[in-house]
Amino acid sequence: MSAVTHPDYGSTSTSALEPKTAVERTTVVTTVPDADADVDEMPPPPADFKTDLGFWIIILSLALILWLAALDLSIVSTALPTIISDLPGSTSFVWVGSAFTLASTAILPLSGNLAQLFGRQATVQGFIALFAVGSAVTGAAKNMQTMITGRTIQGLGAGGMLALVDIIIADLVPLRQRGLYEALLSGIWAVASAAGPPLGGVLAQVGQWRWIFFANLPLCGIAAAMVWRFLKLKRPPGSWRRKLRRVNYIGNAIVMGAATSVILALTQGGVDHPWSSYQILVPLIIGLLGMVIFLVYEAFFCVGEPMVPLSMLSNRTVLSGYAGTLVHGLVSILLLHYLPVFFQSAMLATPLRSSVQSLPTALTIASFAIRAGVSVAVTSHYVSQNVAAWIISIVGFALLSTFHKDSSTAQWVGYQVLVSSGMGVLWISTEFPVLAPLPTSKNAHALAFFAFLHTAANTFGVTIGAAVLQNELRRLLPPTFSESLPQR
């Protein structure tokens, strides 16, 4: 049983791992295609691409890593009422979800730096360990503050794991065939996201919600062992001290602080304070200004590895892929997160029943993601299916907006299938315009930024959705009922 190696990563990409002078950085930029070039066709696969047992074990380990990260993003939602009742300090419950998504978003750009500097195997094992530590802390929490601390650590590990899954797949699989594997992993993500709420609800109902987190520990051990044994990508040269100096600490600190500031404003606006109050406007302005400062720093002052691939953004095909994943991340999380809320609040479904009612979304996303991957592998083109998927998604969301408490089964199933078919295609196909024009040596940074945008959009989607929901509830419901709603 052989370990998986990849000659391209160990040889042709090695120069990209060495420190670059200003001249060398400029040379790298020139490898990006012309900004006006449209790229719709996949490059041909190399003749030496092979899959053996070791390769499939690595794919299995990546699937397990993805399952853990996706499951913990959604599993807490139905168990949260039970957790709140068991732990003191529950007034800050909103951060149980927000801390996870914020931490996973903030770590994503840095994860590309770390993978490029320290190698894929060491970096992914470090993130698995971080996720396991966070799971242990969360499972053992005796109060809400410890719970939030554990969820933050979990989020850091989950964000890094998500980025490394994409990066390792890009190292091992040629772009032309990658759609099949991305579709498989996207299907696992969708199923895990759908399985999370019912699993969390069942464990909460039997009084065992702590096993939501403790169950991660043996699975993390299995995944780390498989990666250690079978993933043998060449480690980048250089000493640890030299590599640590090249980590972009300042850029990561700026973007994390800016994102936190914006999310604080969005979660509190209209609920804790009026939107026009200084308590909301100040952090919102600081956060948006921080994003601008971050881009300026990356463009002109960054002395380490840049977190944002600014040179790639000059290509409109790459830019379209990044814009696509940003919008997709925003609307897809709204679909997955708030559809069960509708079933529970409007149709008075139990948490378990609402999860079953949401299954058409998960199953359709998974199946159409696989179909999209097969389509790209067979035809080598992706533009037409992307356009069709966006049109279908727009129509589907418009129909979802007509839902009400008396909607028929045919409506809430059919509309889910329609919108989820578009979302499923876009789940993986927005990645192709990002990678198609780029050399292999750019994969790590390109994919880390891709994952950052998608996860950041997820974070803002959940936060914006919560703000809209709570503001509308307080506007439409009687004041006596509104006062009984949980306060932060």
The mean pLDDT value of the chain amounts to 79
Taking residues 245-253, what's their average pLDDT? 79
Least reliable range by pLDDT among 118-122, 329-333, 414-418, 459-463: 459-463
Higher pLDDT, 378 or 39: 378
Taking residues 211-228, what's their average pLDDT? 93
What confidence category does residue 389 fall into, taking pLDDT thresholds of 50, 70 and 90? very high
Higher pLDDT, 222 or 343: 222
- pLDDT score recorded for residue 309: 65
The domains of the chain, with CATH numbers, are 50-248+304-482 (1.20.1250.20), 249-303 (no CATH)
Residues 171-183: tens digit of each pLDDT: 888 777 777 787 7
- pLDDT score recorded for residue 238: 66
* Statement: residue 387 has pLDDT above 90: yes
Taking residues 324-329, what's their average pLDDT? 92
* Statement: residue 30 has pLDDT above 60: no
Tokens 């957790």, located at residue: 83
Angle ∠(293,297,303) on CA atoms, nearest 5: 160
* Statement: residue 476 has pLDDT above 90: no
- pLDDT score recorded for residue 393: 96
- pLDDT score recorded for residue 46: 54
What confidence category does residue 41 fall into, taking pLDDT thresholds of 50, 70 and 90? very low
Taking residues 451-457, what's their average pLDDT? 82
Higher pLDDT, 354 or 235: 354
* Statement: residue 194 has pLDDT above 80: no
What confidence category does residue 299 fall into, taking pLDDT thresholds of 50, 70 and 90? confident
Taking residues 361-388, what's their average pLDDT? 85
| Other C-beta atoms lying within 10 Å of the C-beta of residue 54 | 18
